[in-house]
Structure 1
């Protein structure tokens, strides 16, 4: 259900942000505001580490699987990461950005969705999927902070539009939902008691998304664009809590009992 919703939302984001006049006008206004600031030097520094973060994430996922004596768990995380990045590239090559504004600023580039955001959000989804249940809270908080920083950085640097970050969020959520379904159908996941922190953390991410929505309505283009990027990350984190709140790797659990 979550995967289907993500796919539908991806289409809706593309249709509204890329293929409507109001969507193009707003996103071009965000670009104008970002480029008027000359781009953020700090944002560019954050984005320059995309390849390094990808390599480190793959190594970390495989190491977690090895440490848990559950290599399939680590491999599943790598699949989430690879499929999200490849999916974002395929979508970017497959769709177009038509010229709908006859006047005013217009930058002719196909940037939907954001590859940098896809990497960051995929890292968050993959790590939360493969870490032991007791580490999930800290992993989600830290990885979502990293993903949010990258999503905001691509806006501040003028590299991407807000809709581009939302598109990447949808792709990552679709992939992790599909991988989780495959693991569950294959008996690789087991149910665990829901912990109280899940409700508190879910409330925190939900409140963050609502605050971002309010900022979008009240703020100027650049701040509104950053709020959209932040809100998208918060919603993905909230969805991960719903998706994985009561799951743990059955393979790792069985090996721990045997040992």
Structure 2
């Protein structure tokens, strides 16, 4: 029985789970992290693909099923009970780059993605199932209705692409919306940590009041003066800015802070 409070919708169709594993591959001999395996539908496909899989599961009801998989996985399945938002991914793989492949629980999918995009641990790649609406937000471009903070952070750190769609009927129980798989591969020139932290603040402020002009939405960070420093018209709105323009604003924030300005 799925727990709505945990955002659980399970993928049990092996044709679909095998396709997700292929989209994440090649996985032979590679360390893979899966969050929220539930009854292990995707886990089976990952093991079948030859991966060394670590699963993080919060719902103890699935432990017996996952333990059964452990006995037939020839030592390639490790189970960790707990909250994925609190897990130290680096400790799980002893510093090795993990490939993250998951049908993420709906209620924590976005929070987990932001953790993996901006946190200290950098996955080798991520192949993640989200609600279709969230997937579209990740890959959205300036001017799109779905364009927002998630797109800015994802595209500043990864190359993100929707690689598969899945109808609601593919899940047990069926959710009220369709889903999609996003493949995210890290960019070689990821922004340094201070710049990425500034980008988080700028994008959060700008899209937190997206109907306002930048001079108003960015007022806590410098408003019109900040825009002028980045060469951006302060009467524009957040959804019109390109990623490079957001990066320029983030850089301007760092410069202002170095000079003790507000």
TM-score of the aligned structures, taking structure 1 as reference length: 0.25
User: Whose RCO is larger (CA < 8 A, sep 6+)?
Assistant: 1
The structure carrying a bigger strand percent of its residues is 2
The structure carrying a bigger helix percent of its residues is 1
TM-score of the aligned structures, taking structure 2 as reference length: 0.25
